[in-house]
Each structure stands twice: as C-alpha cells, then as structure tokens.
Structure 1
Amino acid sequence: MEEESFEDFWALIEDSRRRATGRDEREELLGDRLAERPLREVVRFQIQLHRLRQRVDTWEMWAAAEQIFGGSCSDDSFWYFQFWVVGLGREDFHKVVADPDALADIAELRRLAGRPLSAWPDDEWPEWEGLDYVAAGAYEKLTGEEEGLEAALDAEGIEHPCNPEPDGEAWDVRHTEEAARRLPRLSTMFPLPERTAGWQRAE
C-alpha cells in the first residue's frame, strides 16, 4: 500500500495526539471519530494500524524496547510497545523505523530517563494496548456486534495477529558493547547495570 493511503490514518492519530492529554482521552477521541464514519473506514483503520505496526515488529526494535525496559521486555510488552510507537505520529514513527536508536529523541522517553522503572506511572509507560481496541469499539458502537470487526477482517481474509513475529536477527542488549554500538544513545539514556535490580511496576 502506498504511503498516501495512510494520510487519513495519520491525520486521526496526530489529531488525537494534539487534542488529548492522555491515552484514555486519545482512545475516546479516536473511537468517537471512527464511529462517525462508514464501517469500511473503521475496518480500514484497523488494517492500516497493523500494517504500520508490522514495520516496527523487528528484533532491532525489540532490543530497543528491552534497553528502555531495563534489559527485559516480554512478548506482551513488546506488542503494546509497537502500538505506542505508531501512536507517536507519522514523523517520529518513520524516524524510528529507520533507526530505533532515534527513540532517544522522543520527549516521552526523555522524561523517563534516569528514573527507576518502579517510579514510572502506568500512563507514562511506552506501551499503548488500548490503541489496538479502538476500531473494535467503534465497530461495536455502530453495529452492536461485540466481535464484529474481527469477523469483518476474517471475511476479507485479513489476518489479525496478537503476538510479535519479529523480522531480522535477535541480539541481546545485555551484551553492553553490542548495545553501545547498535543503540548508542538509548544505552546511554537507559544503562542496564543501574536498572536491572529487582523492581516492581508502579500502580
């Protein structure tokens, strides 16, 4: 699919980023906007979301997430991290696709640098699970069908995975020399030796 076909998708994502103050508010805004549109556009939004998500479903991006998350990033966390990257908007998304180390330029991450993971509030974690459910909620609002979007995707022969299937070659950010070479800025912002002690996620 050509980049121009994503224009409307990016317009929705970036409008929600400008107008909302948090992810819950962004989800509500996106859901309301989608629910004003024909069903085919709701389905198209979800298809585009996953096509873009697939571009950051790489081992290099997973390594970047592990660097940020203190050396460990589960399948679920990486899955939600991918949606968060899409939610950054077109310009930042493309920068990060070209170079995962460019995540070091993202303001949301810069605010987390130097803080222990145990002090990260849930709404600041670089994950956005809810973005994957926005279109389904809008579809249900329009049709009353709880799993209507999933059925619509099936009818079009569109796969809707729920786990990472990364491309590329896996490598371990705990190899500090390799991390410094491949993710020089992130490995400086989120150094593992100071962040691998036991921690619990803030509630």
Structure 2
Amino acid sequence: MDKAEFWTLLERSAEETTDPDHRLTWLTHHLSRLSPEHIADFQLGLEAARRPIDTYAMWGAANQILDGLCSSDTFWYFQPWLIGQGQRFARNPDNLADLPAVRVLAGRGHENWSDAEWPQWEALDYVAADAYERVTGRRDGLHEALKARGHRVYADPEPNDQPWNSDSLTEIAQRLPRLARLFPRRQHVTP
C-alpha cells in the first residue's frame, strides 16, 4: 500500500459515514481483506501522516480549539482526528479555522459537543492492529511486524519545532488570529 492508497482508503471511509465508530468498522473490514504487509503499510501511512502535524504550532491550535485544555494525550488523539479529515487537511495551524469539522464546534462550549464531534480519534491508531489480528490471529502481530521492518513505534507527541506558550493571549493572537476569533478563551472556574 502506497501513500495514495492509504489516503484513498481513509477518505473512502469518510464518504461511507461521518460517524467515527462506523468509519472504524468500515476501515477494519476493508483492511482485513488485505495482506498483512499492506495492513502494516496502512499503519506506516498513518504514522507518516502524523509526523508533519506533530508540532508545537499544531498543538497550540488544538489547545485553542479545546479552550486551553489540550494535554499531551489529548493532542496525541487530536492528530488522528485531523488526519481523518482527509489529505487536504490544514498544515498551517491557523487554517484549521477553514475545516468544516472545526467550524461546527465554534461558538459552543466543549461541554455541548457530541461524542462524534469531539476533535479526537484515538481509535484510528488501533484499526490496523485489529485488522492484522483478524488476518493473522496474532494479538501483537502488527507491532512485531513493524519492529521486524525496523520501524520504531512511538506513542506520545514528539513535536519537531520550537515550543511556545499556547496559553499566552498575546502569542495566540499573533500565531492563531483566526482560531482566536472562532474560539475565544473562556475563564475556567476552579472549585
């Protein structure tokens, strides 16, 4: 499976349904019809798509959308969600303001977002492993196959750019002006 096939499969799942759980079912079914090597290629494609958005700049954008509540785990789950938006998703963090899935969240507090709307999709990280197990019967088979190919699996953000203070209203206004207008920070009340 090459890069184009990875994106085609991911985007076809979005054409079938917008519900994240149904997309996972669809992807698992279709991946299970491929060879173990192609399933591993899908996981490598997912990780390759993750690298350019694993940045402090994108983390700041996610933090703005999530009203300052974006931990490292939350950012890790945000990345596959962003990839799930398709190949043409924004690489410039402030351009996330153009994504329909982001715009629908604006003006509503995160407590009013449905589960399907939340900008996170952790389960996409596991779809290839599930399909691999279905095909081979080996529970940790995908991890072993990737290791045999010399691939280092990582499970936490490893931003590759300069950190910045994504809680600073001044920096947010300079770096993310469009997202700052769509998602103005609210005051959090501490009990």
3-state SS, counterpart of residue 70 of structure 2: coil
Aligned partner of 2:188 among 174, 197, 200: 197
Task: Look up the match of 1:16.
Answer: 13
Counterparts of residues 54-69 of structure 1 (less than 5 Å)? 54-69=51-66
Counterparts of residues 8-157 of structure 1 (less than 5 Å)? 8-92=5-89, 96-97=90-91, 99-157=92-150
RMSD: 1.4
Cα distance, 1:121 vs structure 2:
1.9
Alpha-carbon spacing, 1:153–1:198, altered in 2? closer, same or farther (3 Å): farther
Cα distance, 1:31 vs structure 2:
0.7
3-state SS, counterpart of residue 173 of structure 1: coil
Cα distance, 1:198 vs structure 2:
4.1
Cα distance between partner residues in 2 of 1:198 and 1:120: 19
Cα distance, 1:5 vs structure 2:
3.5
1:170 corresponds to 2:150: no
The TM-score, its normalising length taken from structure 2, stands at: 0.95
Cα distance, 1:177 vs structure 2:
2.0
3-state SS, counterpart of residue 83 of structure 1: helix
Runs of 4+ in 1 over 3 A off after TM superposition: none
Task: Give yes or no for contact 2:7–2:86 (8 Å, CA) kept in 1.
Answer: yes
3-state SS, counterpart of residue 123 of structure 1: coil
Task: Give yes or no for contact 1:70–1:196 (8 Å, CA) kept in 2.
Answer: no
3-state SS, counterpart of residue 197 of structure 1: coil
Task: Give yes or no for contact 2:2–2:41 (8 Å, CA) kept in 1.
Answer: no
Cα distance between partner residues in 2 of 1:132 and 1:196: 33
Kindly, what percent of the aligned residue pairs are identical?
Answer: 43
